[in-house]
């Protein structure tokens, strides 16, 4: 049975997010850092070692620009994005491959993936990839073969068990020796320990911040948290990011305590499942025209440390101390890293959990959503697993669900006019009315 | 008397009826399996009939509530068969972790049915990592224990050893059949080879082994013509016998393949029964010819494809590329580059639930003309 929809017409105080500038500063630092490390002879590698960033800290002076440093710059320019995608297709890859990876691979073929802004090219020491996504796994292989550099592929089972914990730990311990051999540099266990502790703190802080978004009014909407999480994705193991997240945590607490809302109104709180089109990220702001907000997203939460209950409830995960996990040496640090990997939300264990349709409903309830949108993304195959099951479960629970199709990094697969129109029709059907100020951009330094 | 090949073909065309009859006759359980990485030897040793879950390759309109339209045809078609109740005789399902598309079928089926058993089994993606063997050995043991709980029967070493030996014989016979295809005048069409493999995924392995022995005898009496061209088929879970027949209807013969429903199902040599059996099984599944998704770091798939081209004197390669099949799409440029170097013509046919016959005819004819011209020159 459809849930009753009640519009909240209360007006709340709002103000810009003070940590926004810090987030942007960290992002700029991350970009520059790759070239600085390369210039002083540190270790630069390439890949998306999701969920084991703390482990990398033992490399000391290191940097990794994902599969290339210019993805964000590319995606903001649709014409440039199309050129890159076409470069991938010209080499013989198909149009229906993951558009994000194609966005990187095209840059590799065009010589951009390893080119510094100053024009020179660097050769990464190796490729590292956690095999929690088959697409990234094959991208790592392709990079390794194309650049002629070794490939460290860490096999990551999708379930947490004593066996998988041992399996992951053993691989990482072996990987340390492998990296020492490849780079000729000593791996620093003290830095590993600090990195793992930082990663654990970062993930837990992110979860603690997100849980506060259950408050009415919500301190942030999804468009804000989508950007605020960026340092967490790219360098969660660094102390600067822990400091940033502590600041953000304090600011969030202040906003909650003082009823400071994300946008001044939240006529309706909406979930947004799946990835948004990165080249049209403003789609996350569309509900504002109705005084509504998108508030929650599986991937966005997934970067936090959660203890997900069997009924789908997200609880903030425990600290290392609460878990009774000591970190005194290399082995304990690596084991803690794997425990964090398996305990993290959906980003770590990726797409196989059979309970996603249960969690999506509980999330919608706990974050007090009344309806929402599912982005059917032809780009990422992994995150699309169970997307229709999740839609069905939400509908069975009485939520109204709107959908639109796109490919997250391929502008050719998206019709702005059609999608905006479709979403407007959906919002109309929810009983939302456009505000008199609709169409006036809320300038709060988002990017 | 019906030929063994015809019997195998019948069992492919009536695979659901076969499984139902088997179940009635034996009172045993039927397990639907996804992917060639499920260790069927363990199921066999437990007295379970394993049937490969696949579709009918017919247009369907029932899967959209469960699977998006950009999931591969194999998965949508398999799910359609499930939803239409064609697999109502299946008692349990086993998924060996491979691609997300296949997982979706497993996931939706698990959620919307009253199956008494579901199991997803992690198969390492980096199969060559130092710890993969020990890990998979334990995973297989856990899998065996779960089957014991499900069936209420125990698995003993002797039974498992016998099943492994039967599968060894079975694979050896399939190797022999593929060996016959190396002849200048191959006695077996590619479409027939696919039917033979598909039968093995549907019927009892003991019965299958006997039929394979008879097939070899039959093939040795054939007097086939010299084919217009010798082709190799590449691809994933392509089970479209009609499409292979269509390609071969222009005078060419598919003499070998690298398909899930082809050589990848059986190749890789025998399993030793002189050591810990779970370890021996894990060794096989880690060292078998891999699909692109499991062929990470050091590849074994591509060198084997190139070797087959030499061994089977292949004139041209056709990639039956499942639309939306990402793992295979990744390898395309690399394969194409190598085939160019080898001077082997290469054609990609992007396949979906429906076959654009007119377009494919033009492309296959042009491709074979190209090979003809190459042979003359």
Which residue, among A100, A129, A137, A150, would best test binding to B if mutated, counting the most B CBs under 10 Å from its CB?
Answer: A137
What are the angstrom distances between the C-alpha of A220 and each of A9, A315, B106?
Answer: 18, 19, 37
Which pair of structure tokens corresponds to residue A305? Answer: 């440390």
- Interface contact B303, partner A, CB < 8 A: no
Best residue in A105, A389, A401 for a mutation probing chain B (most B CBs within 10 Å):
A389
In angstroms, the CA B227 to CA B243 distance is: 18
Q: Which of B329, B348, B349, B352 to mutate to test the interface with A (most CBs of A within 10 A)?
A: B329
* Domain contains A200: yes
In the numeric block, which tokens belong to residue B360?
């494919």
Which chain A residues are closer than 8 Å to B66 by Cβ?
Answer: 388-389, 392
Question: pLDDT (tens digit, 9 = 90+) per residue, B39-69?
Answer: 999 999 999 999 999 999 888 999 999 999 8
Q: How far apart are CA B203 and CA B19, in angstroms?
A: 7
The predicted model gives B72-89 an average pLDDT of 95
Q: Kindly tell me the sign of the dihedral angle through the C-alpha atoms of A173, A176, A178, A181.
A: negative
Among the partner-chain residues A97, A144, A354, the one whose CB lies closest to the CB of B110 is A354
User: Quick one: A186 exposed, middle or buried, by C-beta within 10 A (0-12, 13-18, 19+)?
Assistant: exposed
**Would you place residue B377 in the very low, low, confident or very high pLDDT band (cuts 50, 70, 90)?**
low
B328-340 confidence digits (pLDDT tens): 999 999 999 999 9
Interface with A, mutate which of B104, B295, B319, B328 (most A CBs under 10 A) = B104
A117-129 burial, b at 16+ Cβ within 10 Å, e below that, comes to: eeeeebebbbbbb
Residue ranges of B 273-302 with Cβ closer than 8 A to chain A: 292-293, 296-297, 299
Q: How confident is the model at residue B375 (pLDDT cuts 50, 70, 90)?
A: low
The token pair at B37 is: 């990485």
The reply to whether A312 and A401 lie within a common domain is: yes
Q: Inter-chain contact A137–B125, Cβ cutoff 8 Å?
A: yes
* DSSP sequence for A2-31: PPPP-----B-EE---TTHHHHHHHHHHHH
Pairwise CB contact (< 8 Å): B66 & A392 = yes
Numbers of helices and strands, H then E, in chain A: 19, 12
Q: Does B317 touch chain A (CB under 8 A)?
A: no
Token pair belonging to A434 = 């456009």
| Each residue's pLDDT tens digit, B279-310 | 999 999 999 999 999 999 989 999 999 999 99
**B204 touches B49 (CB < 8 A):** yes
Question: What does the radius of gyration of chain A's CA atoms come to, in whole angstroms?
Answer: 22
Sign of CA pseudo-dihedral A107, A109, A115, A119:
negative
- Parse chain B into domains and list their residue ranges: 1-377
pLDDT of residue A352: 63
Instruction: Say if A285 falls within a structural domain.
Output: yes
Question: Does B66 contact A at CB distance below 8 Å?
Answer: yes
Among A235, A166, A344, A272, CA closest to B132: A166
Q: Which residues of B159-182 are buried (b: 16+ CB within 10 A; e: fewer)?
A: bbbebbebbbbbbebbeebbebbe
* Exposure letters A133-165 (e unless 16+ CB within 10 A, then b): bbbbbbbbbbbbebbebbbbbbbbbbebeebbb
Whether the per-residue pLDDT at B341 is higher than 50: the answer is: yes
A306-308 and A314-316 strand pairing = antiparallel
Per-position b or e across B202-220, b if 16+ CB within 10 A of its CB: bbbbeebbebbeebbeebe
A234 shares a domain with A205: yes
Same domain, A119 and A227: no
The total of other beta-carbon atoms located within 10 Å of residue B100's CB is: 24
Q: What's the first-to-final CA gap in chain A, in angstroms?
A: 39
| ipTM value for the complex | 0.95
Low-confidence ranges of chain A (pLDDT < 70): 345-352, 438-447
Query: Which of the listed residues A129, A153, A188 is the one where a domain comes to its end?
Result: A188
B350·A351 Cβ contact <8 A: no
- Please state, in angstroms and rounded to a whole number, the distance separating the CA atoms of residues B38 and B53: 12
- A315 and A286 inside one domain: yes
Question: Which chain A positions have a beta carbon within 8 Å of B120's beta carbon?
Answer: 352, 354
Across residues B266-275, what is the average pLDDT? 93
Does residue A247 share a domain with residue A184?
no
Residues 95-124 of chain B with CB under 8 A from chain A are 97, 99-101, 103-104, 107-108, 110-111, 120, 122, 124
Residue A5 in domain: no
Q: Which residues contact A93 (CB under 8 A, 6 or more apart)?
A: A102, A105, B329, B330, B332, B333
Q: Identify the CA nearest to B290 among candidates B270, B280, B305, B279.
A: B305
Residues A369 and A404 in one domain: yes
When computed from its CA atoms, the radius of gyration of chain B, rounded to whole angstroms, is: 20
B positions 132-191 inside 8 Å of A (CB): 132, 135, 138-139, 142
Contact A138 B293 (CB under 8 A): yes
- pLDDT at res. B50: 98
Give A174's Cβ-side CA count (13 Å radius). Answer: 14
Give the closest residue to B127 by CA, choosing from B303, B305, B296.
Answer: B296
Pair A333, A308 in one domain:
yes
CB contacts of B135 in chain A (<8 Å) are 157, 163, 167
Q: Which of B64, B66, B101 sits opposite A389 (nearest CB)?
A: B66
- DSSP assignment letter at B84: T
Query: In which domain, by residue range, is A364 found?
Result: 13-21+193-429
Euclidean distance between CA atoms B373 and B377, whole angstroms? 6
Give the pLDDT band of residue B2 (cuts 50, 70, 90): confident
Q: What is the CATH number of the domain that holds A75?
A: 3.40.50.11890
Residue B365: pLDDT above 70? yes
Nearest by CB: A92 against B125, B138, B332: B332
Alpha-carbon gap, residue B177 to A329, rounded angstroms: 57
Q: Other CB atoms closer than 10 Å to residue B39's CB: what's the count?
A: 29
Q: Where are the alpha helices (DSSP H) in B201-311?
A: 205-220, 241-248, 263-266, 277-287, 301-311
Q: How near does any CA of chain B get to the CA of A107, in Å? A: 16
A293 and A360 inside one domain? yes
* pLDDT tens per residue, range B173-222: 999 999 999 999 999 999 999 999 999 999 999 999 999 999 999 999 99
Count of beta carbons in the 10 Å neighbourhood of residue B360: 17
Note the pLDDT of residue A447: 40
Q: What is the DSSP string of A80-123?
A: HHHHHHHHHHHTT--TTS-HHHHHHHHHHHTT-TTB-TTS-B--
Contact B326 A96 (CB under 8 A): yes
The alpha-carbon gap from A310 to the nearest alpha carbon of chain B, in Å, equals: 15
**Domain boundary residue among A170, A188, A206?**
A188
Residues of B in contact with A406 (CB under 8 A): none
Cβ of A385 within 8 Å of Cβ of B107? The answer is yes
Give dist(CA A287, CA A270) in Å, integer: 9
Distance from the Cα of A288 to chain B's closest Cα (Å) equals: 29
Is residue A437 in a domain? no
Task: Check B326 against A382: CB less than 8 A apart.
Answer: no
Q: Which residues pair with A308 in a beta bridge?
A: A314
CA gap B139, B38 in Å, rounded: 11
Of A159, A170, A385, the CB nearest to B100: A385
Yes or no, beta carbons of B329 and A387 under 8 Å apart = no
* Distance separating alpha carbons of residues B262 and B190, to the nearest angstrom: 10
Distances B248 to B261, B319, B363, B370 between C-alpha atoms, Å? 17, 14, 13, 16
Distances (CA, A) of A157 to A343, B107, B331, B345: 13, 17, 23, 39
Number of structural domains found in chain A: 2
Give the pLDDT confidence score for residue A379 in this predicted structure: 87
C-alpha span between B23 and B202 (Å, rounded): 13
Q: How far apart are CA B55 and CA A51, in angstroms?
A: 37
- Same domain? For A35 and A171 the reply is yes
The verdict on residue A399 lying in a domain is yes
Which residues of chain B lie closer than 8 angstroms to A385, CB-CB? 100, 103-104, 107
Nearest to A408 by CA among A247, A252, A274: A274
Q: Euclidean distance between the first and final Cα of chain B, in Å?
A: 46
Interior CA angle at A47 toward B327 and A180, to 5°?
120
Residues A153 and A136 in one domain: yes
Instruction: Report helix, strand or coil for A153.
Output: strand
The verdict on A134 and A209 lying in the same domain is no
Which of A98, A154, A352 faces B326 most closely, judged by CB atoms? Answer: A98
Domain assignment present for residue A440? The answer is no
* Residue A206 and residue A354 share a domain: yes
Q: Which tokens hold the place of A46?
A: 């390439």
Of A329, A352, A325, which Cα lies nearest the Cα of A340?
A: A325
Cβ-Cβ contacts under 8 Å, B35 against chain A: none
Q: Which residue of A has its CA nearest to B124?
A: A155
Closest residue of chain B to A375, computed from CA coordinates: B68
* CATH number of the domain where residue A387 is located: 3.40.50.11900
Average the pLDDT over B253-265 and give the result.
97
- For tokens 């190749």, name the residue: B267
Selecting from 3.40.50.11900, 3.20.20.140, 3.30.2350.10, 2.40.37.10, what CATH number does the domain B1-377 have? 3.40.50.11900
Residues 6+ apart with CB under 8 A from A249: A205, A208, A209
Which residues on chain B are in Cβ contact (under 8 Å) with A163?
135, 138-139, 142
Comparing CB atoms, the residue among B130, B297, B321 nearest residue A151 is: B297
Q: Do residue A385 and residue B103 have CB atoms under 8 angstroms apart?
A: yes
């Amino acid at each position: 049975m459809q849930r009753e929809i009640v519009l909240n017409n209360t007006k709340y105080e709002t103000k810009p997010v003070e940590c926004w500038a810090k987030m942007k500063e960290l992002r700029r630092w991350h970009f520059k850092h790759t070239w600085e490390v390369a210039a002083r002879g540190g270790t630069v590698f390439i890949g998306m070692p999701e969920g084991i960033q703390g482990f990398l800290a033992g490399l000391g002076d290191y940097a990794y620009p994902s599969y290339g440093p210019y993805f964000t710059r590319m995606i903001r320019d649709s014409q440039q994005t199309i050129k890159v995608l076409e470069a991938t297709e010209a080499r013989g890859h198909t149009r229906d491959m993951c558009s994000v990876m194609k966005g990187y691979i095209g840059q590799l073929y065009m010589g951009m993936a390893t080119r510094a802004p100053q024009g020179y090219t660097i050769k990464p020491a190796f490729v590292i990839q956690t095999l929690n996504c088959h697409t990234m796994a094959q991208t790592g292989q392709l990079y390794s073969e194309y650049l002629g550099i070794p490939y460290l592929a860490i096999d990551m089972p999708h379930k947490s068990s004593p066996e998988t914990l041992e399996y992951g730990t053993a691989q990482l311990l072996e990987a340390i020796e492998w990296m020492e051999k490849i780079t000729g540099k000593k791996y620093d266990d003290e830095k590993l320990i600090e990195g793992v502790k930082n990663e654990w703190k970062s993930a837990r802080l992110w979860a603690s911040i997100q849980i506060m978004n259950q408050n009415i009014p919500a301190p942030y909407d999804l468009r804000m948290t989508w950007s605020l999480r960026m340092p967490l994705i790219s360098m969660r193991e660094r102390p600067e990011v822990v400091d940033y997240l502590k600041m953000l945590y304090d600011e969030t607490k202040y906003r909650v305590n003082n009823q400071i809302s994300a946008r001044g109104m939240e006529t309706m709180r909406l979930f947004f499942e799946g990835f948004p089109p990165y080249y049209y990220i403003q789609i996350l702001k569309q509900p504002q025209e109705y005084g509504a907000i998108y508030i929650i997203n599986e991937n966005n939460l997934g970067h936090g440390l959660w203890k997900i209950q069997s009924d789908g409830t997200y609880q903030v995960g425990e600290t290392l101390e609460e878990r009774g996990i000591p970190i005194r040496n290399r082995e304990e640090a690596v084991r803690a890293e794997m425990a964090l990997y398996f305990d993290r939300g959906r980003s770590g264990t990726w797409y196989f959990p059979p309970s996603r349709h249960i969690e999506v409903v509980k999330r919608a309830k706990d974050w007090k959503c009344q309806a929402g949108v599912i982005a059917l993304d032809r780009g990422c195959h992994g995150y699309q697993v169970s997307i229709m099951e999740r839609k069905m479960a939400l509908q069975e629970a009485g939520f109204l669900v709107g959908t639109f199709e796109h490919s997250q990094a391929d502008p050719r697969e998206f019709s702005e006019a059609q999608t905006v129109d479709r979403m407007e029709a959906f919002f109309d059907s929810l009983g939302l009315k456009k505000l008199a100020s609709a169409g006036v951009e809320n300038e709060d330094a988002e990017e | 008397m019906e030929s063994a090949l015809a019997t195998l073909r019948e069992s492919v065309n009536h695979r659901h009826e076969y499984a139902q009859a088997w179940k009635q006759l034996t009172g045993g359980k039927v397990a639907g399996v996804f992917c060639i990485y499920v260790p069927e030897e363990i199921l066999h040793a437990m007295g379970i009939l394993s049937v490969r879950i696949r579709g009918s390759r017919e247009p369907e309109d029932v899967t959209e509530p469960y699977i998006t339209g950009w999931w591969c045809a194999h998965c949508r078609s398999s799910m359609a068969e499930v939803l239409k109740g064609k697999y109502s005789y299946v008692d349990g399902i086993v998924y060996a972790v491979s691609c997300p598309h296949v997982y979706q079928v497993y996931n939706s089926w698990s959620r919307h049915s009253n199956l008494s058993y579901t199991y997803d089994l992690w198969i390492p993606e980096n199969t060559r990592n130092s710890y993969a063997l020990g890990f998979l050995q334990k995973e297989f043991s856990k899998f065996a224990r779960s089957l014991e709980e499900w069936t209420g029967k125990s698995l003993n070493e002797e039974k498992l050893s016998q099943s492994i030996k039967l599968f060894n014989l079975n694979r050896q016979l399939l190797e022999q059949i593929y060996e016959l295809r190396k002849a200048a005048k191959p006695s077996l069409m590619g479409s027939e080879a696919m039917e033979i493999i598909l039968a093995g995924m549907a019927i009892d392995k003991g019965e299958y082994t006997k039929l394979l022995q008879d097939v070899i005898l039959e093939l040795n009496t054939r007097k086939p013509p010299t084919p217009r061209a010798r082709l190799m088929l590449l691809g994933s879970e392509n089970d479209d016998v009609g499409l292979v027949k269509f390609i071969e209807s222009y005078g060419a013969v598919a003499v070998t393949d690298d398909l899930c429903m082809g050589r990848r199902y059986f190749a890789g040599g025998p399993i030793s029964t002189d050591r810990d059996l779970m370890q021996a099984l894990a060794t096989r599944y880690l060292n078998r010819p891999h699909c692109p998704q499991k062929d990470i770091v050091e590849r074994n798939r591509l060198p084997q494809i190139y070797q087959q081209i030499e061994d089977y004197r292949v004139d041209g390669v056709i990639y039956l590329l499942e639309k939306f099949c990402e793992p295979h799409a990744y390898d395309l440029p690399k394969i194409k580059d190598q085939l160019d170097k080898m001077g082997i013509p290469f054609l990609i046919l992007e396949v979906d639930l429906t076959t654009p016959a007119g377009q494919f005819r033009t492309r296959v004819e042009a491709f074979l003309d190209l090979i003809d011209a190459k042979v003359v020159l």
